[in-house]
Amino acid sequence: MKYSKIVKIVLLVLMVISVAIGVWGFVADFNDASVNGLLRWAYVMVVLGIGIAVILGLAIAVINNPKSLIKMLIFLVGCAVIVGVAYFLASGDPLVGYIGAQPSEGTLKMTDTILNLAYITCGAAILAIIAGACLEACRNRK
């Protein structure tokens, strides 16, 4: 069996499972069990996507150019440093004005970390747009 057929079959199976879980959530009127199932499946899909991207990227890099492995490792370490910075900047303070039961300190810390990562990536995207426009203007000036 060709590689492309295997990929198509795996994608079809994942899509069928996703649709089935979505229909289950709709039929169950999105109760706690179905929402938890949907969220867990989303986590599985995200982890699979990231894992496959890293593993395939690593395999292709090693096959095509073994020296690019060093660049990839530097990039992964850089990502880990950014996540670490976002984690250490996260306050984890209790929610103000929240009437229900307060989430745990760990949940608050992780939520703040994700918010910090969103701020960092948004700022990086804006800087990349501005830098790209400036570089393009400088290159076209000649």
DSSP 8-state secondary structure symbol assigned to residue 98? -
The pLDDT tens digits for 40-80 are 888 888 888 888 877 877 777 778 887 777 887 888 899 99
Torsion of CA 36, 47, 21, 1, to 10 degrees: -160
Taking the C-alpha atoms of residue 17 and residue 19, their distance in angstroms, rounded to an integer, is 6
> Where along the chain do its domains lie?
1-64, 68-142
Q: Which residues contact residue 112 at a Cβ distance below 8 angstroms, ignoring those fewer than 6 apart?
A: 90, 91, 92, 93
pLDDT for the residue numbered 118: 94
CA-angle at 102, arms to 96 and 104, nearest 5°: 120
Prediction pTM value: 0.57
The pLDDT tens digits for 68-125 are 778 878 888 999 999 999 999 998 888 888 888 888 888 889 999 999 999 999 999 9
pLDDT for the residue numbered 134: 93
Taking the C-alpha atoms of residue 116 and residue 110, their distance in angstroms, rounded to an integer, is 10
Q: How many CB atoms lie within 10 A of CB 25?
A: 19
